[in-house]
Structure 1
Amino acid sequence: MIKTGYKTKRTIGNIVSYIFLVLISIIWLFPFVGIVLQSFRSYATESGGMESYVIPHQFSLDNYKFLFSGETNYLRWYSNTVIIAFFVAVLQTIVVLCVSYALSRMRFKGRTLLMKSWLVLGLFPGFLTMICLYFLLKMFGLTQAGAIPGLILVSVASSGMGYYVCKGYFDTIPKALDEAARIDGASRSRIFFTMTIPMSKPIIIYTALVAFMAPWNDYIFASYVAFGHDKSYNVAVAMFRWVKTNDYQGYFTRFCAGGVLIAIPVVLLFMFLQKYYVEGVTGGAVKG
């Protein structure tokens, strides 16, 4: 009887928990589903602005056709976003891996002070340096027309300070492997590239995804550096200025279509790399 009562209570508890989670999921997903549905609203037969209904009366690809037409620079903005995010992801991943490996495996004077200093500096928001960075980039011609390389440079320059998770993952790899390789005559670089990197696939993917997401969603600094130069905008900056200078009500469905297209790569990346992303986070959080 005791076991039966326990199973019944456990079943009821699970049912209540699942119902609660389903309701929370519906509430959380509703805005995203609404944006996707609004992007398929016919621009020719319905208003292009915000309406009280969610499901379109007539589905159409008018809004997506508009984005790929010659009436906007959406493809240019999209390519700018891809270029910035790709190079930042690659370069920042390389820098973070190298710095994290050095801090994890090597012992040198000032190592602890360096890590503590970076930790403290990382507590300050990056917005504090915006004015200084803008004038510095302007001196080298890396604003407005040169905003794309300027944004890449700024994102990569301080990336070594984000060593925390990656270093924690490297700490979980037995140092005995490094010592055995050193006895066999392998150099630090060879150990890093031929032994450590092949065993660090989860943290590499995690680092690359985090590095990719930052410039992909960047608006504040991107708008600051590329101010006034339409061809250097990323999608976030361009679409905001697009609906701000045009009729927002008339361009709402087109804005939704642009948002759906910019979300697709991120969704696909997390769907296919979710396993490695979780392993990278949990593995890097074990030791510090």
Structure 2
Amino acid sequence: MSDTSVKKERKPMSKRNKNILELTVLYTIIGIMFIIIFYPLVWAFGMSLNEGSSLYGSSIIPENPSFEHYIWLFTDPRSNYLIWYQNTLVVAVTTSVVATFIVGLTAYAFSRYRFVGRKNGLYAFLLLQMFPVLMAMVALYILLNTVGLLDSLVGLILIYIGGAIPMNAFLVKGYFDTIPRELDESAKIDGASHFRIFFSIMLPLAKPILAVVALFNFMAPFMDFILPRIVLRSPENFTLALGLFNFVNDQFANNFTRFAAGSILIAVPIAAVYLFLQRYLISGLTAGATKG
């Protein structure tokens, strides 16, 4: 049989088979990513239900599951978990609300007005995003110590708010640029002031991107360890990330099961805020990231 006849007998893959192959590859990748993300959570929850305190003696499926570690966190006098939780919520809520409001005002000014230094201000925001916050830790420590805000939640909140402005303001500005200016002009003709336009028109239309900013700034204090470690000194001022470190440090003799129980409970407020804001998140991320 000649090569020509062999080539004629070969049939290209049908469109249906090609789609099946693409879906199979796609779902395989999604399944692998799901396992990578979900397995540590299941393992941590299983470890929190194990008796004892050892990391290596714990299993993902406990033989005798118990909630004793969760009970200990909330009832034992030696545990400051409730204080750490309260501190973290105060920092997270305050940072989220204040930062979102300031970011909204800043982004609105850069989006709608032309003033001296506007272009340089935008360049400064971009420049500040290029450097990690770790580079400023020494300066922040000295600054807080100078103004008497070291080892205080107020100082920690101010750093979080200041750090949230550059990146988020640039992101929200991109969203404001997509809102037609005709709305502002119509409101001005009707006699609306600048603040009335901002609060009555811009903020309601910018709910998606502001929800993204609020969520990110709410999550940061729950996840951050390095900054609270530098700023806070007293155990009664610790946030959750810093306080839980004591469970695997020297204070509680490497109690990994209690650490796991405390870590699992961190997800509760974050999940609640996420579910509350989820209808805005996807549109906010896409719109704010595609136009600037």
CA distance in 1, matches of 2:89, 2:258: 20
Shift of 1:110: 1.7
Deviations 1:122-142 (A, max 9, x none): 212222221222122122321
**2:109 paired residue number:** 102
Deviations 1:90-111 (A, max 9, x none): 1000100000000000111221
Match of 1:27 among 36, 47, 55: 36
CA distance in 2, matches of 1:177, 1:6: 48
Deviations 1:9-58 (A, max 9, x none): 31233134223321331232111110011111134xxx544326321011
CA gap of 1:167–1:239, structure 2 versus 1, over 3 A, is same
CA distance in 1, matches of 2:148, 2:219: 26
Question: Aligned runs of 1:1-288 on 2, under 5 Å?
Answer: 5-43=14-52, 48-51=54-57, 53-69=59-75, 70-144=77-151, 147-162=152-167, 163-227=169-233, 229-246=234-251, 248-249=253-254, 251-288=255-292
Q: Is the 1:50–1:252 Cα contact (8 Å) retained in structure 2?
A: no
Q: Is the 2:44–2:264 Cα contact (8 Å) retained in structure 1?
A: yes
Q: Which runs of 5+ in 1 are unaligned?
A: none
Q: Which runs of 5+ in 2 are unaligned?
A: 1-10
Q: Is the 1:165–1:281 Cα contact (8 Å) retained in structure 2?
A: no
CA distance in 1, matches of 2:124, 2:155: 26
CA gap of 1:20–1:242, structure 2 versus 1, over 3 A, is closer
CA gap of 1:84–1:23, structure 2 versus 1, over 3 A, is same
Deviates more, 1:207-216 or 1:230-239: 207-216
Q: Is the 2:103–2:172 Cα contact (8 Å) retained in structure 1?
A: yes
Q: Is the 2:46–2:59 Cα contact (8 Å) retained in structure 1?
A: no
Deviates more, 1:196-205 or 1:119-128: 119-128
RMSD: 1.9
Q: Secondary structure of the equivalent of 1:246?
A: coil
Q: Is the 2:221–2:239 Cα contact (8 Å) retained in structure 1?
A: no
Q: Is the 1:172–1:286 Cα contact (8 Å) retained in structure 2?
A: no
Q: Secondary structure of the equivalent of 1:151?
A: helix
**Normalised TM-score (structure 1):** 0.91
Q: Secondary structure of the equivalent of 2:221?
A: helix
Q: Secondary structure of the equivalent of 2:62?
A: coil
Q: Is the 2:107–2:170 Cα contact (8 Å) retained in structure 1?
A: yes
Shift of 1:186: 1.2
Q: Which has the larger radius of gyration?
A: 2
Shift of 1:80: 0.5
CA gap of 1:24–1:161, structure 2 versus 1, over 3 A, is closer
How many residues align? The count is 280
Ranges of 4+ aligned residues in structure 1 off by more than 6 Å: none
CA distance in 2, matches of 1:86, 1:230: 20
CA distance in 1, matches of 2:87, 2:252: 25
**Normalised TM-score (structure 2):** 0.90
